[in-house]
Structures are given as structure tokens and as C-alpha cells.
């Protein structure tokens, strides 16, 4: 099975900072990667799919890039409402549809 890793596991940044989270697949997964945001006590929310396509309604400060095994989620200007845990997920027609372990983002 393909394993998904994320780094860092947590980070603390100031409002307005640029934040980058990395997700790595143990084997190539083309662009079959999604990113989710889970605010404390809330349900996960889709941010990005196809590695770089912004889900409708998601603020444009969020962006995704990468292909194959290495992917990034970038928040161009961190806002207080972005405090959350962010997960990547391999999602295609080949199970399992593994999530990364998550990256917790806090405000400094």
C-alpha cells in the first residue's frame, strides 16, 4: 500500500505569514491528491483536489502544487480562521485512500 507522510507535524506562524505544508507519497500517485482542513471540533472540509484545483468557495490564499510523490499546500497569508489541522489524502480508484497524519497549524 502507498503510505502518505506530512511535514511538519505542527507549526506556529504569525498572521500574514506564508505557510507551506508538505505531503509525500511512498509511490507516485500522479495528481490524485486532495487537501482537507479540519478546524478544532469541526468536520473536515475539502480545500484542494487534483493536487492543485481549488474547491469552490475556498479562499484563494490556499493553493496546492506537486505531482507524483511530492505535494505542497500553501497558505499565502495566514489568517486567524486558518487555525486547524490539515490533511492530505491519496484519492483515486486504487484503495486504500490513505490520509496523511496531519499538520496542526497555530497562530504565534
Partner 1 sequence: EVQLVESGGGLVKPGGSLRLSCAASGFAFSLYNMNWVRQAPGKGLEWISYISSSNNIIYYADSVKGRFTLSRDNAKNSLFLQMDSLRAEDTAVYYCAREAHNFGYLKIDSWGQGTLVTVSS
Interface residues toward partner 1, by CB under 8 A: 1, 31-32, 34, 36, 38, 43-46, 49-50, 53, 55, 85, 87, 89, 91-93, 95-102
- Of residues 32 and 82, the one with the C-beta less far from partner 1: 32
Q: How far is the CB of 1 from partner 1 (least distance, A)?
A: 8
DSSP 25-83: ESS--TT-EEEEEE-TTS--EEEEETTTEEPTT--TTEEEEEETTEEEEEESS--GGG-
- Of residues 68 and 102, the one with the C-beta less far from partner 1: 102
Amino acid at each position: 500500500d502507498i503510505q502518505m507522510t506530512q511535514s511538519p507535524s505542527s507549526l506556529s506562524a504569525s498572521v500574514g505569514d506564508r505557510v507551506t505544508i508538505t505531503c509525500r507519497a511512498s509511490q507516485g500517485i500522479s495528481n490524485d491528491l486532495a487537501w482537507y482542513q479540519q478546524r478544532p471540533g469541526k468536520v473536515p472540509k475539502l480545500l484542494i483536489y487534483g493536487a492543485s484545483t481549488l474547491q469552490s468557495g475556498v479562499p484563494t490564499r490556499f493553493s496546492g502544487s506537486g505531482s507524483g510523490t511530492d505535494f505542497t499546500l500553501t497558505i499565502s497569508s495566514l489568517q486567524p480562521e486558518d487555525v486547524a489541522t490539515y490533511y492530505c489524502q491519496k484519492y483515486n480508484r486504487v484503495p486504500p485512500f490513505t490520509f496523511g497524519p496531519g499538520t496542526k497549524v497555530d497562530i504565534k
